[in-house]
Amino acid sequence: MSRPRSQERRSAIISAATRVIAARGLAAPTATIAKEAGVSNGSLFVYFETKSKLLNELYLELKADMGAAALDRLPSDADIRNQLHHVWTNWLRWATSFPEKRRALAQLSVSEDLTAETHQLSADGMAGLAEILRRARADGPMADEPLGFVLQLVTALAESTIDAVLREPANLDSHSRAGFGAMWRVLASADVAVINV
């Protein structure tokens, strides 16, 4: 019976990859990631068969991390607008608290290495968020659009807001408010809202 794989080493590599990719992009050498993780060159390939697999797994972990952060302490019995606002705030807090995770994720999102399976798994992992979104847009102007499309639009708004905040941290509050307002209007535009009142 040989030495078992160490969960610690795996995490060290994932975490090093986050930092290195945030700093130097997807072209960062695996050797650099290994060194940053404090493991040898060769060990990295024990834990991740290829660089591409490392990238895919890292993407999924970061996505999951972000998704979990977004749903943290969700006030399940609040109204849907407040729930969505809670998620929005969590999301921004995560991105500003872990800028390296956010940067790495942004790089990975455009990587040609991500497989269809990874994209599928990532979508599955977002199910919690999607459910909230589904309720938020009910009876709104996007009620009849494919949920995936709506999720995409909303995500794009969030990402853009995050970018803006990271670029000008001083404007965190105003950007956050404006971004959330925009999102809410996309999903549940004012006239409908007024009628509902």
Binding residues for a second copy, rule: CB under 8 A, are: 2, 25, 27, 40, 42, 106-107, 110, 112, 141-142, 145-146, 149, 152-153, 155-157, 159-161, 163-164, 171, 174-175, 178-179, 181-182, 185-186, 189-197
The single residue among 15, 52, 96, 155 that binds DNA, judged by CB under 7 A, is 52
Q: What is the DSSP string of 74-139?
A: --TTS-HHHHHHHHHHHHHHHHHH-HHHHHHHHHHHT-TT--HHHHHHHHHHTHHHHHHHHHHHTT
DSSP string, 141-169: TTTTS-HHHHHHHHHHHHHHHHHHHHH-G
Residue 139: CB atoms within 10 A of its CB come to 12
Shortest distance (Å) from residue 77 CB to a second copy: 27
Q: How many residues bind DNA, per CB under 7 A?
A: 25
CB atoms within 10 A of CB 95: 23
Based on the shown chain and the rule CB under 7 A, indicate whether residue 39 belongs to the binding site for DNA: yes
Residue 41 in the binding site for DNA (CB under 7 A): yes
Instruction: State the CB neighbour count (10 A cutoff) for residue 122.
Output: 18
Does 11 participate in binding DNA (rule CB under 7 A)? no
Q: What is the DSSP string of 34-65?
A: HHHHTS-HHHHHHHSSSHHHHHHHHHHHHHHH
Please identify, using beta-carbon distances, which residue of 52 and 155 lies nearer to DNA. Answer: 52
Q: Which does 82 bind (CB under 5 to 8 A by kind): a second copy, DNA, none?
A: none
Whose Cβ is closer to a second copy: residue 84's or residue 142's?
142
Q: How far is the CB of 48 from a second copy (least distance, A)?
A: 18
- By C-beta, is 3 or 167 nearer to DNA? 3
Which listed option, a second copy, DNA, none, makes contact with residue 6 (CB within 5 to 8 Å by class)?
DNA
For 25, other C-beta atoms within 10 Å of its C-beta total 11
Per CB under 7 A, residues contacting DNA are 1-6, 9, 27-31, 39-47, 49-52
